[in-house]
Amino acid sequence: MIYLELLLSFLQIGLLSIGGGYAAIPLIQDQVVVRHSWLTLSEFTDLITIAEMTPGPIAINAATFVGIRVAGVPGALLATLGSILPGCCIVLVLSVLYRRYGQSRGLQTVLSTLRPATVALIAGAALTITLGALGLSQGAAAGFSWVRPVIILAAFLLLRIRKTSPILVIFASGALWLVWQWASGALTV
């Protein structure tokens, strides 16, 4: 039964992908391409490209894409449910514990030790994404352009000083870059 197989496959992916995003890719490939042959390898590569181009967690994007191709909308819903269920159960238990013991002195010491490390992880993600967006990371297809750091700096200052809405800033950056590329002839419509 295809529905059950989809659900079980994505339950496994959801349970085993710790650390978010990229940790899930090899697991999805193993289930979807190797074990069940639901997608070919080139379709899978397309899926990763699309998942990176669209919003939302990669595991959910993959679950929806595979589910709908294999078994229509019910398949998409079941695969998505499978991919989020294990994490939700575990996090729910942890939330209850956090609410109960979160203010206790011992746990506060542990958490306050952990917080700066979390800040460091966010800082790492910030640098990786910024370098990638600037076209400076390894394997970046596009060359360097001085317009990119100008957009980042302007966006950063708007966020820091004017407290502009981040979503507005993200879309404005996209629109500005699109207009610039079009104006400089890199984009032929």
Partner 1 sequence: MEQLPEKKKPPYGRLFASMFVISACTFGGGFVIVSLMKKKFVEQYHWLSAEQMLDMTAIAQSSPGAIAVNAALQVGFYLGGGPAAAVAVLGTVLPPVVLLSVISLVYAAFRDSLIVATLLQGMQLGVGAVLLDVTCGLAKPLIKKRDWLAIGIMLTAFVLSWVLKINVMYIVLGTALLGVLRAVLAAKKSGGGQRE
Nearer to partner 1, 34 or 187 (CB): 187
C-alpha to C-alpha distance for 112 and 31, rounded to whole angstroms: 39
Q: Are 32 and 62 in contact (CB under 8 A)?
A: yes
Q: Supply the minimum distance, in Å, between the C-beta of residue 127 and partner 1.
A: 6
Q: Supply the minimum distance, in Å, between the C-beta of residue 24 and partner 1.
A: 8
Q: Supply the minimum distance, in Å, between the C-beta of residue 41 and partner 1.
A: 16
Tokens 């879309």 map to which residue?
171
Q: What is the DSSP string of 33-84?
A: IIIS-SS-HHHHHHHHHHHHHSSS-HHHHHHHHHHHHHHHHHHHHHHHHHHH
Nearer to partner 1, 8 or 90 (CB): 90
The contacts found for 70-78 with CB under 8 angstroms, 24 or more apart, are: 70/2, 70/6, 70/38, 71/2, 71/3, 71/6, 74/3, 75/2, 75/3, 75/6, 78/3, 78/6, 78/7, 78/10
Q: Supply the minimum distance, in Å, between the C-beta of residue 77 and partner 1.
A: 7
Nearer to partner 1, 41 or 127 (CB): 127
Report the amino acid identity of residue 104.
Answer: S
Nearer to partner 1, 37 or 42 (CB): 42
Q: Supply the minimum distance, in Å, between the C-beta of residue 35 and partner 1.
A: 19
Nearer to partner 1, 2 or 68 (CB): 68
